[in-house]
Structure 1
Amino acid sequence: MTEIALTLFSAALINNLVLHWPLGVNPLLAANGRTQVHALGLATACLMLMVGTLGYLIDHWLLVPANLTSLRLLAWLSLSVLLIAPLLHRLGRWLPTLPFDGLWPLLLGNAGILGITLLNSRDDHGLGLAVAVSLGAGLGFWLVLSLFDDLRQRTFDNDIPRPFRGLPIQLIGAGLMAVAFLGLRGLVKA
């Protein structure tokens, strides 16, 4: 149980998909507005959990026994595309105050969703750890998305030199966040 909790903590904070493995940066830069950030974060966390878990099961129960491992990427991409619309519909019904409309392209273009399935198949530590890594990666994405939105709002009204306005200051802030998260690396010893 502690191994699963440490894996969840590590995937969310230490080995963050956005800051450690630069996956899923495009939705990070596209989301704006507090409610859209939380809708995108929740939808991405749920989709990472579902695709990471189901992708692991498909890989180990179907693709590996049938010696079709070359079709992994096609199977996981198809799984991701097929799960986006029902997930957004269900989340929209459960949480009608959050704007889930228009998130389909951001979820489809999120490389972190496919990246988590690739990491789960590469490491192969079992279903429990695959679920923990998938959930931790989704929660870590949501955390970085929220922090990045806060950074964007703080820099919006400040007097920033002209060459650094907009995307350059956001990328500098993301780099500083990555360094801050890198400082957490010594907390968990393998």
Structure 2
Amino acid sequence: MTEIVLTLFSAALINNLVLHWPLGVDPLLAANGRKQVHALGLATAFLMLMVGALGYLLDHWLLVPANLTSLRLFAWLSLSVLLIGPLLHWLARWLPALPFEGLWPLLLANAGILGLTLLNSQDDRGLGHAIATSLGAGLGFWLVLSLFDDLRQRVFNNDIPLPFRGLPIQLISAGLMAVAFLGLRGLVKT
């Protein structure tokens, strides 16, 4: 039980997919507005959990026994595409106050989801570890998305030199956040 909690904590904060592995940076830069950030974070967390767990089961129950491991990315991408629509529909009915429409391209283009399934297949520590890693990665993505939106709002109101306005200051801010999260290294060894 302790190992699963440490794995969840490690995936969310220490081995964050956006800051440690530069996966899923494009939705980070595209999301704006408090409600859209939370809608995207919640949808990504649920999608990572579902694709991570189902991808692990698909890999270990179908692809590895049938010696079809070369089709992993195709199978996981298909699984992700098939789950996005029903997930967004379910979340829109469950939480009507959040704007889930229009998130399809941001979820489809999120490389963190495929990167997560690849990391789960490489670790091969069991289904519980894959679920904890998937949930931790989704929650970590949501945390970074929220923190980055706050940082973007603070930077927007300041006087930034002209060459640094827009994307350059956002990339510098993301780099500084990554350095701040590096300070958490060594807390959990998994």
TM-score range, shorter chain: over 0.9
2:74 corresponds to: 74
1:4 corresponds to: 4
Which digits, 9 at most, give the CA deviation of each residue in 1:1-28, with x for residues without a partner? 0000000000000000000000000000
In the TM superposition, 1:26-105 aligns within 5 A as 26-105=26-105
Give the letter for the 1:145 counterpart: L
Give the letter for the 2:107 counterpart: L
2:164 corresponds to: 164
Give the letter for the 1:167 counterpart: L
Take 2:131 and 2:189, find their aligned partners in 1: how far apart are those partners?
21
Which digits, 9 at most, give the CA deviation of each residue in 1:37-61, with x for residues without a partner? 0000000000000000000000000
Aligned length: 190
2:187 corresponds to: 187
Q: Does 2:110 match 1:110?
A: yes
Q: TM-score, normalised by structure 2?
A: 0.99
Which digits, 9 at most, give the CA deviation of each residue in 1:86-110, with x for residues without a partner? 0000000000000000000000000
Structure 2 residue runs without a partner (length 5+): none
1:19 corresponds to: 19
Which digits, 9 at most, give the CA deviation of each residue in 1:122-169, with x for residues without a partner? 110100000000000000000000011011100111011111111111
Take 1:188 and 1:127, find their aligned partners in 2: how far apart are those partners?
20
Give the letter for the 1:184 counterpart: L
| Identity level (%) | 87
SS at match of 1:185: coil
Deviation at 1:187, TM superposition (A): 1.1
Take 2:150 and 2:47, find their aligned partners in 1: how far apart are those partners?
23
Distance 1:43 1:128, change over 3 A: same
Q: TM-score, normalised by structure 1?
A: 0.99
Deviation at 1:189, TM superposition (A): 3.2
Deviation at 1:186, TM superposition (A): 1.7
Kindly report the root-mean-square deviation, in angstroms, between the aligned alpha carbons of the 2 structures: 0.6
SS at match of 1:184: coil
1:173 corresponds to: 173
1:135 corresponds to: 135
2:123 corresponds to: 123
Take 2:55 and 2:82, find their aligned partners in 1: how far apart are those partners?
12
Take 2:189 and 2:104, find their aligned partners in 1: how far apart are those partners?
38
Q: Which runs of 4+ in 1 moved over 4 A?
A: none
Take 2:186 and 2:108, find their aligned partners in 1: how far apart are those partners?
34
Take 1:186 and 1:69, find their aligned partners in 2: how far apart are those partners?
33
